[in-house]
Amino acid sequence: MIHLLQTGLNSADSGSFLPVAVQFIIATGLVAFLMFVTHMLGPKRKTTDKLQNFSSGIETHGDARQPMAIKYFLTAILFVLFDVEVIFFYPYAVNFKVLGWNGFWAVMLFVGFFLCGFIYILKKGALKWEE
Amino acid sequence: MNITQIIFWILSVVALFSALMVITARNPVYSVLWLIATFFSISGHYILLNAQFLAIVNIIVYAGAIMVLFLFVIMLMNLNKESEPRKHRLLKLAGAVSGGSLLLVLVAALRDTDLKHEHALVNEGNIGLIQNLGKELFSTYTVPFEISSVLFLSAMVGAVVIGKKE
Amino acid sequence: MWSFSGISNSIHEWLSQTFNPTLTIIIEMVIAGVAVIGLFAGLGLVLVIMERKVSAWMQIRLGPNRVGPKGMFQSLADTLKLLVKEGLTPTGADKLLFNLAPFIAMIVAMLLMAPIAFAKDFQLWDLNIGVLYVSAISSMMVISILMAGWASNNKYSLMGAMRSGAQIVSYELSAGLSVLSIVVLTGSLRVSDIIQSQADGWWIFKGHIPAVIAFVTFIIAVTAETNRAPFDLAEAESELTAGFHTEYSGMKFALFFLAEYVNVFIVCAIGATLFLGGWMPFHIGHWAGFNHVMDYIPSSLWFFGKTFFLIFVIMWFRWTFPRLRIDQLLNLEWKYLLPISMVNLLLVTAMAILKWHF
């Protein structure tokens, strides 16, 4: 289907993103259609008991939206930092042949700093789930 | 008006509208979701400028990583109506003053730029492609690249210090 | 010879003779979209029955065996049932986000389908940063899960969503790093280039031990990313009922379910493309005769064979390993997989610069 979709489109310009736009529209349309159809097809017998939140049979106590453990936050923020590191690898990975050893040592230094941070995190026990 | 211009206008309207919704939405979770929509439309602009790598990285880092962090934080704190901190009038005033001065600086900066001679390269130019960007980053800008890793190191230390505080 | 690219070429020729160029492109895009929808439905049905049959086989029982021959139409019947079920929205839920979450999960899964090469010259969209695109779009999955969990206003859902979020984002790192090690070997992010570079042997064989390490890391990471056992903490039935989709019913539940299975297919297809050569037949270096014999097997068969093999491996995990605890799960990623895959990537880079790979 490569021929189907890329007629007259140079894949290095922004026009090459057209297929994904069309794909997005079709996907949205399909899901909306499915939701609508099943909304029409399904029965609608609503009772207050049925619409309550499920809590395995016992009565629901309070609001579910309560503060959670800080550990999740730490995981998320460390993920952001390491994700940016991974992103920096992509331009390198494409070009490393041209850059040769100079580029490699630059990346090594970059990773070295990250590893320092990583060892600090481990030493501080930031990833320890149980206290 | 050609197709690029039409797409540009649609994207701009979406970006501005969702940015406005970010600050007007009552619920912080909605704000974050509108912010994600803003990032997507900005990525659309990047694609129009033929900066595909930037467009994708914008989605990965901002929409995929930082917004997930925001969602986590908002869900962690789960601010309810009662627990929402009361805003002092003085605090509001300070907010208005700082926001207003930022606006002033932005407007002044925009007035100084010579817009007539600047043309955005739409659909051409290839500095935004990953190969060229990588070459620039790892040859001309190696030092800033290394310094950014020090910045990450400090961010890690900061996160651990804040997160592990008893 | 009968092939996918032949069909698409003849459709293209017929359309361009009948209509003008713009209309041709539009019609082709619509055809492609409809084809993706069809593939989606087909995959959903096949993978669900496959999972049930594989699990039955592993546990020495029969599995579904009533609807159709050997129970083959069971998932079709299930789909029909889900279609006519009542879709509930709990009173405490945030109505808009609750309904939006399965929407996003599904759209993400459909967009991920675009850069996958199903057969020789048969690919929806060959972008020059294809692999990066996949990791960008798949990172949106977390948002739909968090949205579902938060909007349900159910304790199980919220807990499941938080666990799932932490898990997916953590494992995204080592999945990304192991993908990168193949990008380093290939020097390109374009899917067709990656496949073409494996014409004289797949990377898992050409890349020595680092490629094998990357492959193993990738499989573990994607198993976790798709929330499958032994990493299915997000929907650990015994403690969280069904995790983030506890409150979902009817079609909305079906959409989550379908998106999960399609994601399994997609990650396995990516794994097959990167490490096992995608549609590229099994070639060995310069053995022209052997390679020529292998070329007689259609490329689509190679692709689907490899992908379904990886899917089978992931299903195998599910019925072999016990579920991990959340602390074990995060330890596995942050203390073992992440450092290993990072060092492995540097190793691959050094190897590629020294040209030690074949």
Residues with Cβ within 8 Å of A21's Cβ and at least 6 positions away in sequence, in order, are none
Q: Is C50 exposed, middle or buried (0-12, 13-18, 19+ CB in 10 A)?
A: middle
Gap between the Cα atoms of B61 and B64, Å rounded: 6
Gap between the Cα atoms of B58 and C143, Å rounded: 16
Q: Which residue, of B81, B107, B140, is where some domain finishes?
A: B81
- The size of chain B, in residues, is 166
Nearest to B75 among C129, C136, C162 (CB): C162
Size of interface A-C (CB pairs under 8 A): 242
Helices C250-275, A18-41: axis angle to 10 degrees equals 150
Write the ipTM. Answer: 0.80
Do B144 and B76 belong to one domain? no
Gap between the Cα atoms of C348 and C326, Å rounded: 31
Do B7 and B64 belong to one domain? yes
Q: What is the pLDDT of residue C276?
A: 85
pLDDT tens digits, residue range B16-61?
999 998 888 878 888 888 898 899 899 888 888 777 788 888 888 8
Gap between the Cα atoms of C159 and B123, Å rounded: 45
Residues with Cβ within 8 Å of C27's Cβ and at least 6 positions away in sequence, in order, are C15, C19
Would you say residue B29 lies in a domain? yes
By residue range, what is the domain housing residue B154? 129-166
Q: Could you count the other beta carbons within 10 Å of the beta carbon of residue A98? A: 13
Do B74 and B134 belong to one domain? no
Would you say residue B76 lies in a domain? yes
Q: Could you count the other beta carbons within 10 Å of the beta carbon of residue C290? A: 14
Run of H or E including A42: none
The single residue listed with the structure tokens 């923020």 is A77
CA of A103: which chain B residue's CA is closest? B138
Position A16 pLDDT exceeds 90: no
The DSSP secondary structure of C314-354, one letter per residue, reads: HHHHHTTSPPPPHHHHHHIIIIIIHHHHHHHHHHHHHHHHT
- Number of domains within chain A: 1
Structure tokens at C253: 């539940």
Do B3 and B67 belong to one domain? yes
Do B75 and B2 belong to one domain? yes
Nearest to B65 among A80, A102, A124 (CB): A80
Q: Where are the domains of chain C?
A: 75-353
Run of H or E including C33: helix C21-58
Chain B CB contacts of C135 under 8 Å are 60
pLDDT tens digits, residue range C237-285?
666 777 777 778 777 888 888 888 888 898 898 888 888 887 877 777 7
Q: What is the pLDDT of residue B114?
A: 67
Q: What is the pLDDT of residue B17?
A: 92
Q: What is the pLDDT of residue A1?
A: 38
Nearest to B156 among A65, A94, A121 (CB): A121
Position A4 pLDDT exceeds 50: no
Would you say residue B60 lies in a domain? yes
Asked if C259 and C97 touch (Cβ cutoff 8 Å), the reply is: no
Position B81 pLDDT exceeds 60: no
Structure tokens at C49: 């029955």
Q: What is the pLDDT of residue B97?
A: 92
**Domain at A48, CATH number:** 1.20.58.1610
To the nearest whole percent, how much of chain B has pLDDT over 70? 83
Enumerate the H helices of A1-131 as residue ranges. 2-5, 18-41, 70-124
Peptide bond into C230 cis (omega under 30): yes
Residue type, A52: Q
Chain C CB contacts of A114 under 8 Å are 342
Instruction: Determine, for residues C132 and B60 on separate chains, whether the beta-carbon distance falls below 8 Å.
Output: yes
Spell C63-102 as b/e; 16+ CB within 10 A means b. bbeeeeeebebbbeebbeebeebbbbbbebbbeebbbbbb
pLDDT tens digits, residue range C176-185?
888 888 888 8
What does the mean pLDDT of chain A come to? 74
Q: How confident is the model at residue B116 (pLDDT cuts 50, 70, 90)?
A: low
Residue range A75-91: average pLDDT?
84
Would you say residue A54 lies in a domain? yes
Would you say residue A131 lies in a domain? no
Chains near C with 3+ CB pairs less than 8 A apart are A, B
pLDDT tens digits, residue range C34-88?
888 888 888 888 888 888 888 888 888 887 888 778 778 888 888 888 888 777 7
Residue from C99, C347, C217, C88 nearest A49 by CA: C88
Q: What is the pLDDT of residue A6?
A: 43
Q: Point out which residues pair with C123 in neighbouring strands.
A: C117
Position C130 pLDDT exceeds 90: no
Q: How confident is the model at residue B127 (pLDDT cuts 50, 70, 90)?
A: low
Gap between the Cα atoms of A88 and C130, Å rounded: 17
Identify which of C11-15, C88-92, C140-144 has the greatest average pLDDT. Answer: C140-144
Q: Could you count the other beta carbons within 10 Å of the beta carbon of residue A43? A: 9
Chain A CB contacts of C30 under 8 Å are 22, 26
Would you say residue A12 lies in a domain? yes
Q: What is the pLDDT of residue C236?
A: 65
Secondary structure percentages of chain C, helix, strand, coil, to 5 = 70, 0, 25
Instruction: Among B89-98, C3-12, C139-148, name the one with the lowest average pLDDT.
Output: C3-12
Instruction: Determine, for residues A8 and C21 on separate chains, whether the beta-carbon distance falls below 8 Å.
Output: yes
Residue range A106-119: average pLDDT?
85
Best of A10, A14, A105 to disrupt the B interface (most B CBs within 10 Å) is A14
Would you say residue A129 lies in a domain? no
Q: Point out which residues pair with C117 in neighbouring strands.
A: C123
Q: How confident is the model at residue A7 (pLDDT cuts 50, 70, 90)?
A: very low
Gap between the Cα atoms of A60 and A83, Å rounded: 38
Best of C133, C159, C177 to disrupt the B interface (most B CBs within 10 Å) is C133
Q: How confident is the model at residue B115 (pLDDT cuts 50, 70, 90)?
A: low
Do B77 and B136 belong to one domain? no
Q: Is C124 exposed, middle or buried (0-12, 13-18, 19+ CB in 10 A)?
A: buried
Which residue numbers of C have CB closer than 8 Å to B's CBs? 94, 97, 127-129, 132-133, 135-137, 139-140, 142-143, 146-147, 149-150, 158, 161-162, 165-166, 169, 189
Gap between the Cα atoms of C277 and C282, Å rounded: 8
Position C235 pLDDT exceeds 60: yes
Cα angle, residue C98 at apex, residues C92 and C103 outer, rounded to 5°? 170
Instruction: Determine, for residues C32 and A23 on separate chains, whether the beta-carbon distance falls below 8 Å.
Output: yes
What does the mean pLDDT of chain C come to? 81
Q: Could you count the other beta carbons within 10 Å of the beta carbon of residue A58? A: 6
By residue range, what is the domain housing residue A28? 2-124
Q: How confident is the model at residue B120 (pLDDT cuts 50, 70, 90)?
A: low
The single residue listed with the structure tokens 């579920």 is C323
Q: What is the pLDDT of residue A61?
A: 66
Q: How confident is the model at residue B104 (pLDDT cuts 50, 70, 90)?
A: very high
Report CA C182 to chain centroid distance, whole Å.
17
Q: How far is A67 from chain C (nearest CA, A)?
A: 11
pLDDT tens digits, residue range C279-317?
877 777 777 777 777 777 777 888 888 888 999 988 888
Residue range C146-153: average pLDDT?
83
**Domain at B14, CATH number:** 1.20.120.1200
To the nearest whole percent, how much of chain C has pLDDT over 70? 96
- Number of domains within chain B: 2
Gap between the Cα atoms of C340 and C44, Å rounded: 34
Residue range C141-148: average pLDDT?
86
